[in-house]
């Protein structure tokens, strides 16, 4: 019959008989502890995935991380950070945005920027100051074009070139401007439809101060153009300036003496006489508007510099020669965009044109004019009666 050995009363430790077992146990203890910590961390991360970051924090699972997580990372387990999109690393300290780039109209390449890995806005397009010269008569085939700017859509008839606008260094603010290739040719236009009813009390702020003017009608279309003293002009590869629709203005007083100007035709000093036109970036024929395009206020000059040169231009309307005579206008960027109307005006009082409202407004006819709501569900007067209009709605006949 077998007998169970009893080793409890031995006069010496059992490890002295089997020393290799003691060494094995000593090695297994830290391995078991490490494995347990890993399993605990995995279990915590699994629970975080199930509950979400907010739920895990509410459950008390987000413990301390030393050093702390960066860039909005969340501590989800001891010294374990959960990183937001766009970051990686033990502490979420390394940006991980994709390396694709955004190319701006001036050729600048922009990288994505954390957090969120969004592209920053392109810098304002240059040049932004122009000195405009009147030009002699020349042959031009009129054409109809569709335009959309801050004040809505419209169709105009482009008649003939009236101005050549050259980049200008005003008061030594931009010494590189005379070398810029982008010019503007100003064409006389006449609005065909819908009728422009004008805008009153438009506030404009520029380097010379604040003006309050009334807009009368569109009368110029400025088109990006290449200019050369020899024929033919080399077309612009990628225009850095936009198309502009210019409205004649009334009211507002501005006189500035001793303005220094330098452009490709020379250097001189001129005097600003009065505001003449407000020019807005315009989407011509669905071509879009450049990001960062500046709005311009153009002033009439008194005794502007003379050029008296024949130049050659090239733009979307073709190429040809212009006889440049005298500077008549100075156009400067405005720093506060004019507030657009809430919707397009009626063509005739009482006629419904189903105008499109800007986002955040509703409109309705009210004795031949438009009345705009300022909020969703706000009651306002429409045609002599109270009505309620949601954001972005169109007028009812």
What are the pLDDT digits (tens) for 203-241? Answer: 888 999 999 999 999 999 999 999 998 888 989 888 888
How sure is the predictor about 388, in pLDDT bands with cuts at 50, 70 and 90?
A: low
In a domain, 214, yes or no: yes
How sure is the predictor about 143, in pLDDT bands with cuts at 50, 70 and 90?
A: very high
Evaluate whether 199 touches 251 at the Cβ level (below 8 Å). Answer: no
- In this structure, are 143 and 200 located in the same domain? yes
Evaluate whether 32 touches 71 at the Cβ level (below 8 Å). Answer: no
- In this structure, are 79 and 154 located in the same domain? no
Evaluate whether 163 touches 295 at the Cβ level (below 8 Å). Answer: no
Instruction: State the first-to-last Cα distance of the chain, in angstroms, to the nearest integer.
Output: 112
User: Helix and strand tally (H, E) in the chain?
Assistant: 2, 24
In a domain, 274, yes or no: yes
- In this structure, are 331 and 265 located in the same domain? yes
Residues contacting residue 42 through CB under 8 Å, at least 6 positions apart:
none
How sure is the predictor about 338, in pLDDT bands with cuts at 50, 70 and 90?
A: low
Question: At residue 118, does pLDDT exceed 80?
Answer: no
- In this structure, are 255 and 321 located in the same domain? yes
What pLDDT does 149 receive?
87
- In this structure, are 82 and 231 located in the same domain? no
Kindly state the average pLDDT of the residues 294-306.
90
Range in 105-114, 148-157, 250-259 with the lowest mean pLDDT: 105-114
Please tell me which residue, 168 or 5, carries the higher pLDDT value.
Answer: 168
In a domain, 112, yes or no: no
State which of 309, 336, 363 marks the end of a domain: 336
- How many C-beta neighbours within 10 Å does residue 264 have? 18
Measured CA to CA in angstroms, residue 315 lies from 104, 125, 187 at distances of 21, 18, 12
Query: In sequence order, what DSSP letters do the residues of 140-188 get, joined into one string?
Result: ---EEEEEEETTEEEEEEEEEEEEEEEE-EETTS-TTGGG---EEEEEE
Query: What's the structural domain count of the chain?
Result: 3
Evaluate whether 46 touches 33 at the Cβ level (below 8 Å). Answer: no
How sure is the predictor about 331, in pLDDT bands with cuts at 50, 70 and 90?
A: very high
* Nearest-5° Cα angle at 356, 353 to 358: 145
Kindly state the average pLDDT of the residues 380-385.
42
How sure is the predictor about 315, in pLDDT bands with cuts at 50, 70 and 90?
A: very high
Tokens of 39: 């399993």
What pLDDT does 377 receive?
43
Measured CA to CA in angstroms, residue 64 lies from 18, 60, 77, 116, 253 at distances of 44, 11, 7, 25, 65
Range in 95-109, 190-204, 337-351 with the lowest mean pLDDT: 337-351
- In this structure, are 289 and 380 located in the same domain? no
The model's pLDDT over 86-100, given as tens digits with 9 standing for 90+, comes to: 778 888 888 777 777
- In this structure, are 193 and 300 located in the same domain? yes
SS3 of residue 312 by DSSP: strand
Query: What is the rounded distance in angstroms from the CA atom of residue 235 to the CA atom of residue 216?
Result: 34
SS3 of residue 41 by DSSP: helix
- In this structure, are 190 and 279 located in the same domain? yes
**Domain coverage including residue 371:** 341-397
Tokens of 277: 């036109």
In a domain, 397, yes or no: yes
Question: Residue 189: which H helix or E strand, with range?
Answer: strand 183-193
Question: At residue 58, does pLDDT exceed 90?
Answer: no
- In this structure, are 365 and 289 located in the same domain? no
Residues contacting residue 332 through CB under 8 Å, at least 6 positions apart:
128, 129, 170, 206, 207, 208, 296, 297, 299
- In this structure, are 83 and 188 located in the same domain? no
What pLDDT does 270 receive?
93
The model's pLDDT over 156-196, given as tens digits with 9 standing for 90+, comes to: 999 999 999 999 999 998 888 998 999 999 999 999 888 88
The model's pLDDT over 269-289, given as tens digits with 9 standing for 90+, comes to: 999 999 999 999 999 998 888
Evaluate whether 78 touches 44 at the Cβ level (below 8 Å). Answer: no
Tell me what the pLDDT averaged over the chain comes to. Answer: 74
What pLDDT does 343 receive?
43
In a domain, 19, yes or no: yes
SS3 of residue 228 by DSSP: strand
Evaluate whether 126 touches 106 at the Cβ level (below 8 Å). Answer: yes
Query: What is the rounded distance in angstroms from the CA atom of residue 275 to the CA atom of residue 214?
Result: 11
What pLDDT does 271 receive?
94
How sure is the predictor about 292, in pLDDT bands with cuts at 50, 70 and 90?
A: low
Range in 122-136, 153-167, 215-229, 315-329 with the lowest mean pLDDT: 122-136
Measured CA to CA in angstroms, residue 288 lies from 283, 285, 291 at distances of 5, 8, 9
Question: At residue 357, does pLDDT exceed 50?
Answer: no
């Amino acid at each position: 019959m077998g007998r169970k050995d009893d080793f409890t009363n031995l006069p010496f430790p059992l490890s002295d008989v089997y020393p290799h077992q003691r060494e094995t146990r000593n090695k297994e203890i830290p391995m078991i502890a490490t494995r347990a910590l890993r399993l605990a961390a995995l279990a915590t991360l699994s629970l975080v995935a199930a509950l979400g970051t907010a739920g895990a924090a509410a459950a008390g699972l987000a413990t301390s991380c030393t050093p702390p997580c960066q860039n909005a990372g969340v501590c989800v387990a001891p010294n374990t950070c959960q990183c937001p999109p766009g970051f990686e690393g033990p502490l979420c300290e390394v940006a991980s945005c994709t390396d694709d780039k955004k190319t701006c109209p001036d050729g600048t390449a922009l990288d994505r920027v954390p957090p969120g890995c969004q592209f920053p806005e392109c810098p304002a397009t240059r040049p932004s100051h122009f000195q405009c010269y009147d030009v002699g008569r020349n042959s031009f085939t009129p054409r109809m074009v569709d335009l959309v700017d801050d004040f809505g859509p419209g169709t105009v008839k482009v008649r003939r070139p009236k101005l050549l606008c050259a980049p200008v260094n005003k008061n030594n603010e931009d010494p590189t401007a005379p070398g810029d290739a982008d010019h503007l040719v100003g064409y006389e236009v006449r609005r065909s439809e819908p009728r422009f009813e004008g805008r009153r009390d438009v506030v404009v702020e520029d380097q010379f101060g604040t003006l309050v003017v009334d807009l009368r009608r569109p009368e110029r279309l400025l088109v990006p153009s290449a200019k050369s003293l020899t024929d033919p002009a080399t077309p612009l590869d990628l225009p850095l300036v936009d198309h502009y629709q210019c409205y004649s203005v009334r009211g507002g007083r501005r006189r500035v003496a001793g303005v220094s100007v330098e452009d490709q035709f020379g250097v001189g000093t001129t005097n600003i006489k009065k505001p003449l036109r407000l020019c807005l970036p315009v989407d011509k024929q669905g071509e879009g508007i450049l990001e960062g395009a500046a709005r311009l206020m153009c002033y009439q000059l008194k005794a502007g510099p003379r050029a008296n040169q024949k130049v050659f231009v090239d733009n979307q309307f073709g190429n040809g020669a212009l006889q440049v005579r005298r500077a008549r206008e100075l156009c400067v960027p405005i720093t506060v965009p004019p507030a657009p109307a809430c919707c397009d005006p009626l063509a005739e009082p009482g006629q419904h044109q189903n105008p499109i409202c800007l986002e955040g407004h509703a409109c309705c006819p009210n004795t031949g004019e438009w009345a705009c709501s300022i909020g969703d569900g706000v009651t306002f007067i429409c045609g002599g009666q109270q009505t309620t209009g949601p954001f972005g709605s169109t007028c009812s006949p």
